[in-house]
Structure 1
Amino acid sequence: MPETFHAYHSFGLQQRTAMRFEADVFECEVEGEIPEALRNGAYYRTGGDRLFPTLEDDIILNGDGMFSMFRFEDGHVSYRSRFVRTERMKAELAARRRLYGKYRNRYTDDDSVSNLPQRDNTGNTYAFAHHGELFALREDSRPYRLDPETLDTLDIGDFGALESTALTAHPKIDPETGEWWSYGVFAKGAPTTDASLHVFDRAGRLVREQWFHTPYPGLSHDWGVTRAHIVLPIMPLTADEARLRTGGDYYEYDPDLPSMWGVMPRGGDPARDMRWFPIPGIVMGHVMNAYSEGDKVILDTPCSPGNCFSFFKDKHGRTPTMPETITQITRITFDLSKPDDQAVTLQPVNGALGDMPKIDDRYAMRKYRTGYFALRDFPQMGVGQIDWDTGEVKAHELQGAAAQEPVFVPRTADAAEGDGFVLVAVDRFAEKRMDLLILDGNDVSRPPIATIKLPFAQPMCFHGCWVGA
């Protein structure tokens, strides 16, 4: 008997439904003019959808990877979306039914797939390009490669002698060396404190892997790398093998635990040189940027006063309230010249409520001025821009719509910071469709330079990238 598709839980206590279709739109409708910097290239994105029925109380993180592309050719734009054809999806296609259970809980699967390697790898978190390859990343797995022209799924990438089973869904690319910096928690596959720091050179060859332990087996979705330091946050959403064996959730929020922040020299040994700082009362998921100034390490992140991963209950079985889930972009400074209890300061930015932060990636790992984010100050929704020198926050406001992650593309290779364009997918709720806006990176509050229209809605994507032709 076919199963029922249930709504699944998403961020902000929202519920979403599976869309289940792959799409092609040749020659999208465009209002305005495509800037010269965007005339040829592709904007790739990935997010979670479901090809087969969802469980009751399923969550967006458990979705199959839906990879999409806006292809720019001489000022024309076409669109394509394809499921990431993982081993997991192939097994379900052959069976013509759902075989996999709860998020990262193999004990809830059908017996026929209980030993499948890469069980959790759905490729649903970050569309990422490096050394001429296109990847669908997810933090608990080795990423799949995709064909950048067709979006056909190729295979799981070759990462040489890497021992870690996990590569973060938020790699950091060094704009000076081209290196791909990565890490993995639960890096031996089980929910333990085992973690791995690893680096690939500009050609994708593994040049470094170091093992260490985190303070507790907690969630770590993003991190900071500067020219001199590494910052590794561990959030108090803990994983536990015994809970999984009873059919429970992978993560459980523990409000009595502080978040823990590991800071170490970039060239150091994490097992020996990591200095852990507790910060109680905050939870974060993403990092805008990080940089070092002498003994001070500065990291900018949207963080919430409670559990912003709202689909995971706390250890008392409680779901967070909306105010507990709201993230505010905050500057965290670690002064390594001071004792632990005096080293950390937090500076929230007034008016900067939201998430999905991005920068001009040429300024990654060093002091910068401009940041962008999805503004979520309900009922004001839109795209935000921070000037870190003045503290000013500008907004491109949306009516009856919400922005996904903004991505910046410079006007030219040597343009000033922020002189370029912001690509941002916008959900038009009443019209049940999606637009791609091109905004002025110098001032996102201005009207769109161009609007690329899709005649239908698409699943929410998490993270993506622009690849020039």
Structure 2
Amino acid sequence: MRAEIDLRALEVIQGEVPRQLDGGFFRLIGDRKWPAFVENDIFMLGEDGMASCFYFKDGMVDFKMKYVRTPRFVAEEKAGRALFGEYRNPFTDDPSVEGLSRGTANVTMLAHGGKLFALKEDSPAIEMNPFTLETIGEYDWNEVVTSKAITAHPKIDPKTGELVFFGYCAAGPATTDIAYYEADATGKIIHETWFHAPYTCMVHDVMVTENFVVFPVTPLRHELEWLKRHEPAFKWDPTEQVYLGVLPRKGKGEQIRWFKGPTQCHGHTAGAFDDGRYIYADNTFSKRSFFRFFPNADGSDFDPADTMPYLKRVIIDMESNGDGFTEQQLFDYPCELPRIDPRFETMPYSFVTMNLLDVPEQERIGHGFQWVATMDVNGKKPAQIRYAGHNCSIGEPQFVPKNDTAAEGEGYVMTVVGRHEEKRSELLILDAQNINGEPVATVALPFRLRSTGHGYWYGSRQLRGETNVIGAW
């Protein structure tokens, strides 16, 4: 789109926006300002970050969208052309930007300790103004965080307000270093430790419980030699096992314990919790990388069906003498981008919402996500599935509690639907307990937003730094 936008009072074309919603639905997309000079540029992964937010207040919704002005963006804007080459490969850049941060800040928005960040897992966090989306600059937690990369999937412990985050390739491209951090409710770093993964790979997400952190090491490999030969930065290597590294919260790197399992690719975490002995972690897993543009390491072809992810529960016995884990599938359909009620992060939970890739009963099979679903992971309530419509795509759903005291799953599912034929988008606000009913409200945009990976709701009290409980008004 390449458009920075500031709209007041979006049109509500159906229903009413709940007046108690006070905060923002933040989304981060990839949107190149300058055409790439390399072939086969990867959609989303190598594009400039564009931050957007639907701001809610007194039953009205405003919309803002601005580029994240990373060091990379600023350099290219000054030059008037693209200067950075292939995804995650500094050897393909224009010599004028050697040593400059390559981060695009295009994956996730994080609010914690009264600050808002744009995150991309290969680079430092970028601080932004939560109310104007103006870029403040790279942030390193007052020079304490030395990892060269910060995950795009940190977790906030709702009991303590602590931020749990990490960085892989923390010492630089294609290194096995993983740096693990915790910050207190004010944003002060209170714990740091480093350790090595069994092999170099993408560690996109992490599983956090009250007492443990689980790092999924799956064989979407990343080698320096590939970068130097201008080959894809990541390749799928089916010869490697899966490793789940379990570290006690605030533990030291030498305490990590590795559990092994069958080869598969980790996608995103839904929820995770422990009872002191057993860790239960629900995640999406596919037989090989979900990203079809990353080839097999041996150059062989692969079955596209193997990229379809399914929601599974991993169970780890911390009192066992072995190094294995068990798993069970929780949902029949391929799905991704699962989201729980964030007030139950690190704790036992039931409610989850997610996108579906393919529902066989639908007569028309489309590309990308066309369905949103809700389910009870404990099987006590039937799953619900909502179809976005023909020639439509639907974004990652976000659960928003109805109020601070609402029961788990009592609230709203927000998602953006792209109406392709009409060339516009809508923000749907659905009753989380009945997503197939009439939307609580449908808010229209006069243009179509680009698809995005992730979005987060942050209440106004959280944006002001008064609390770190997601959903608090």
TM-score, normalization by structure 2: 0.91
Runs of 5+ in structure 1 lacking a partner? 1-18
Letter in 2 for 1:210: T
Q: For residue 99 of structure 2, what is the aligned residue in structure 1?
A: 115
Match of 2:291 among 309, 325, 349: 309
Match of 1:439 among 430, 435, 443: 430
Q: For residue 448 of structure 1, what is the aligned residue in structure 2?
A: 439
Q: For residue 251 of structure 2, what is the aligned residue in structure 1?
A: 268
Query: Is 1:410 paired with 2:386?
Result: no
Question: 1:310–1:319: 8 Å Cα contact kept in structure 2?
Answer: no
Letter in 2 for 1:137: L
- Cα gap change, 1:437 to 1:318, in 2 (>3 Å): farther
Q: For residue 244 of structure 1, what is the aligned residue in structure 2?
A: 227
State the secondary structure of the residue aligned to 2:313.
strand
How much identity, in percent, do the aligned residues show? 38
Match of 1:168 among 148, 151, 167: 151
Question: 1:46–1:67: 8 Å Cα contact kept in structure 2?
Answer: yes
State the secondary structure of the residue aligned to 2:268.
coil
Q: For residue 383 of structure 2, what is the aligned residue in structure 1?
A: 393
Deviation at 1:321, TM superposition (A): 3.3
Alpha-carbon distance in structure 2 between the residues aligned to 1:468 and 1:440: 18
Alpha-carbon distance in structure 2 between the residues aligned to 1:202 and 1:350: 35
Alpha-carbon distance in structure 2 between the residues aligned to 1:235 and 1:50: 29
Query: Is 1:365 paired with 2:365?
Result: no
Match of 1:287 among 269, 273, 280: 269
Alignment of 1:98-137 (within 5 A): 98-116=82-100, 118-119=101-102, 121-137=103-119
State the secondary structure of the residue aligned to 2:75.
helix
Question: 1:299–1:331: 8 Å Cα contact kept in structure 2?
Answer: yes
Match of 1:70 among 38, 54, 61: 54
Runs of 5+ in structure 2 lacking a partner? 363-369, 461-473
Question: 1:128–1:464: 8 Å Cα contact kept in structure 2?
Answer: no
Question: 1:125–1:136: 8 Å Cα contact kept in structure 2?
Answer: yes
Deviation at 1:378, TM superposition (A): 4.5
Q: For residue 449 of structure 2, what is the aligned residue in structure 1?
A: 458
Letter in 1 for 2:344: Y
Question: 1:170–1:221: 8 Å Cα contact kept in structure 2?
Answer: yes
- Cα gap change, 1:320 to 1:71, in 2 (>3 Å): farther
Query: Is 1:258 paired with 2:241?
Result: yes
Question: 1:165–1:189: 8 Å Cα contact kept in structure 2?
Answer: yes
Question: 2:191–2:250: 8 Å Cα contact kept in structure 1?
Answer: no
Deviation at 1:293, TM superposition (A): 2.1
Letter in 2 for 1:301: N
Please list the CA deviations of residues 71-107 of structure 1 after superposition, one character each: whole Å capped at 9, or x if unmatched: 1221111212111111111111111111110111011
Alpha-carbon distance in structure 2 between the residues aligned to 1:187 and 1:25: 39
Q: For residue 425 of structure 1, what is the aligned residue in structure 2?
A: 416
Please list the CA deviations of residues 144-173 of structure 1 after superposition, one character each: whole Å capped at 9, or x if unmatched: 111122211111124132221222110010
Deviation at 1:443, TM superposition (A): 2.7
Query: Is 1:349 paired with 2:349?
Result: no
Please list the CA deviations of residues 393-443 of structure 1 after superposition, one character each: whole Å capped at 9, or x if unmatched: 211222122221111111111111011111111122222221111011223
Query: Is 1:329 paired with 2:315?
Result: no
Question: 2:219–2:263: 8 Å Cα contact kept in structure 1?
Answer: no
Match of 2:173 among 174, 190, 193: 190
Alpha-carbon distance in structure 2 between the residues aligned to 1:320 and 1:286: 22
Which protein is richer in strand relative to its size? 1
Deviation at 1:279, TM superposition (A): 2.1
State the secondary structure of the residue aligned to 2:20.
helix
Question: 1:375–1:403: 8 Å Cα contact kept in structure 2?
Answer: no
Provide runs of 4+ in structure 1 moved above 4 Å. Answer: none
Question: 2:193–2:251: 8 Å Cα contact kept in structure 1?
Answer: no
Deviation at 1:21, TM superposition (A): 2.2
- Cα gap change, 1:187 to 1:237, in 2 (>3 Å): same
Q: 447-456 or 332-341, which moves further after superposition?
A: 332-341
Q: For residue 68 of structure 2, what is the aligned residue in structure 1?
A: 84
TM-score, normalization by structure 1: 0.91
Alpha-carbon distance in structure 1 between the residues aligned to 2:259 and 2:440: 44
Please list the CA deviations of residues 121-161 of structure 1 after superposition, one character each: whole Å capped at 9, or x if unmatched: 11101011111111101112211111122211111124132
- Cα gap change, 1:277 to 1:188, in 2 (>3 Å): same
Alpha-carbon distance in structure 2 between the residues aligned to 1:440 and 1:340: 44
Alpha-carbon distance in structure 2 between the residues aligned to 1:435 and 1:229: 39
Alpha-carbon distance in structure 1 between the residues aligned to 2:39 and 2:228: 19
Deviation at 1:196, TM superposition (A): 0.8
Q: For residue 320 of structure 2, what is the aligned residue in structure 1?
A: 338
Question: 2:337–2:355: 8 Å Cα contact kept in structure 1?
Answer: yes
Deviation at 1:319, TM superposition (A): 5.6
Deviation at 1:282, TM superposition (A): 1.4
Match of 1:46 among 15, 28, 31: 28
Alpha-carbon distance in structure 2 between the residues aligned to 1:45 and 1:320: 32
Deviation at 1:294, TM superposition (A): 3.2
Q: 211-220 or 455-464, which moves further after superposition?
A: 455-464
Question: 2:244–2:259: 8 Å Cα contact kept in structure 1?
Answer: yes
Deviation at 1:316, TM superposition (A): 2.3
Q: 215-224 or 68-77, which moves further after superposition?
A: 68-77
State the secondary structure of the residue aligned to 2:99.
coil
CA RMSD of superposed structures (Å): 1.6
- Give the count of matched residue pairs: 446
Letter in 2 for 1:337: E
Alpha-carbon distance in structure 1 between the residues aligned to 2:141 and 2:300: 40
Letter in 1 for 2:206: W
Alpha-carbon distance in structure 1 between the residues aligned to 2:254 and 2:140: 29
Alpha-carbon distance in structure 1 between the residues aligned to 2:302 and 2:109: 30
Letter in 2 for 1:133: K
